[in-house]
């Protein structure tokens, strides 16, 4: 499969002409102005947010993942750290404040949105919340669930990367060191 088939771009982002041709496996070039576009990985964060002996899963509201469950998180904004992106995303989606998320692992995944495939590099973190008094669903979720990690139905999770991260989370030992963020 060619990169142009995955991203569905038809016009050059620089000159606007429909002259895009494959350049290599990761890019295309405009035969009119020679602009090369690399469809690079997008940075994404997701959190395993702990409350007592449970974690939070979200119910997704947008297509193509509508109705599926996922860990809270989202895309990293320009000039934003991964940790700050996770803090912002948890606030936006769940109205929860977290501090000092600890790095768990990273995974790569394809994410389809409006006929464009995004290649994502996802950083997973673990964070605790002390209460859920103000928790509420916002942004691209319409509900949330507190669930014991060992009781999660992995078939209801939208993303394979969430399954992998939760599995790593469950298999941690007391000696495993999570990297705390400042």
Residue 42 confidence (pLDDT): 92
DSSP 149: G
More confident residue, 101 or 117: 101
d(CA 172, CA 113): 33
Query: Is the predicted pLDDT of residue 123 greater than 90, yes or no?
Result: yes
Assigned CATH for 42-172: 3.90.79.10
pLDDT class for 133, splitting at 50, 70, 90?
Answer: very high
3 state SS of 151 = helix
pLDDT above 70: percentage of residues in the chain: 91
Q: Decide if 27 contacts 3 (C-beta within 8 A).
A: yes
Contact 58/69 with Cβ under 8 angstroms? yes
Model pLDDT, residue 129 = 94
List where CATH 3.90.79.10 sits in the chain.
42-172
Q: How crowded is the C-beta side of 8, counted as CA atoms within 13 Å?
A: 7
Helices and strands (H, E) in the chain, number of each type: 3, 11
pLDDT digits (tens, 9 = 90+) for 29-44: 999 999 998 888 899 9
């Amino acid at each position: 499969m060619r990169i142009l088939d995955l991203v569905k771009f038809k016009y050059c982002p620089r000159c606007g002409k429909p002259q895009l041709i494959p350049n290599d496996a990761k890019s295309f070039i405009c035969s009119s102005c020679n602009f090369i576009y690399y469809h690079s990985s997008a940075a994404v964060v997701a959190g395993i947010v702990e409350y007592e002996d449970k974690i939070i899963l979200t119910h997704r509201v947008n297509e193509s993942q509508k109705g599926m469950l996922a860990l809270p998180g989202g895309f990293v904004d320009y000039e934003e750290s991964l940790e700050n992106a996770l803090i912002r995303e948890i606030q936006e989606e769940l109205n929860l404040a977290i501090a000092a998320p600890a790095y768990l692992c990273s995974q790569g995944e394809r994410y389809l949105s409006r006929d464009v495939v995004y290649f994502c590099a996802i950083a997973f973190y673990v964070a605790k919340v002390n209460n859920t008094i103000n928790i509420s669903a916002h942004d691209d979720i319409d509900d949330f669930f507190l669930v014991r990690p060992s009781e999660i139905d992995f078939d209801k999770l939208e993303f394979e990367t969430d399954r992998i991260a939760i599995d790593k989370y469950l298999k941690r030992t007391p000696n495993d060191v999570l990297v705390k963020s400042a």
